């Protein structure tokens, strides 16, 4: 898939279909990410590789062990804001 408009439409559609999942913008592994949570736990992460101010790559994390670790890390940091 190529082009910002096509990618934006894809992700807008994916996020609106995820019933019960809250979406937050955050930082994971030092880069910008979209973090989906459900039931107080991290459900999935979409990380962005940014080069020259543009998205050059996407990284997804859905491994339950990695997500459980991230949930623990985020809970100690007070994330999301206001929690």
* Domain interval for residue 55: 4-77
Q: What is the mean pLDDT of residues 6-32?
A: 76
Q: Are 44 and 20 in contact (CB under 8 A)?
A: no
What's the domain count of the chain?
1
Say if 60 falls within a structural domain.
Answer: yes
User: Is residue 25, in this structure, part of any structural domain at all?
Assistant: yes
pTM above 0.75, yes or no: no
Residue 4 predicted with pLDDT over 50: yes
Task: Give the separation between CA 25 and CA 45, rounded to whole angstroms.
Answer: 10
pLDDT at residue number 18:
65
Tens of pLDDT, residues 44-79: 888 888 899 888 888 889 899 999 888 888 777 766
> CA-CA distance, 63 to 76, in Å (whole number)?
20
Q: Does residue 83 have a pLDDT over 60?
A: no
Length of the chain: 83
Report if residue 11 sits inside a domain.
Answer: yes
Domain contains 15: yes
Residue 83 inside a domain? The answer is no
Tell me the C-alpha distance between 10 and 3, whole Å.
Answer: 11
**pLDDT recorded at residue 82:** 42
Long-range contact set of residues 45-52: C-beta below 8 Å, sequence gap at least 24: 45/70, 46/11
């Amino acid at each position: 898939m190529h082009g910002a408009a096509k990618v934006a439409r894809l992700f807008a559609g994916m996020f609106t279909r995820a019933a019960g999942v809250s979406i937050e913008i955050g930082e994971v592994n030092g880069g910008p990410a979209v973090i989906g949570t459900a039931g107080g736990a991290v459900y999935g992460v979409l990380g962005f590789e940014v080069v020259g101010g543009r998205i050059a790559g996407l990284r997804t994390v859905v491994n339950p062990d990695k997500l459980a670790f991230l949930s623990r890390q985020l809970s100690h940091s007070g994330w999301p804001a206001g929690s």
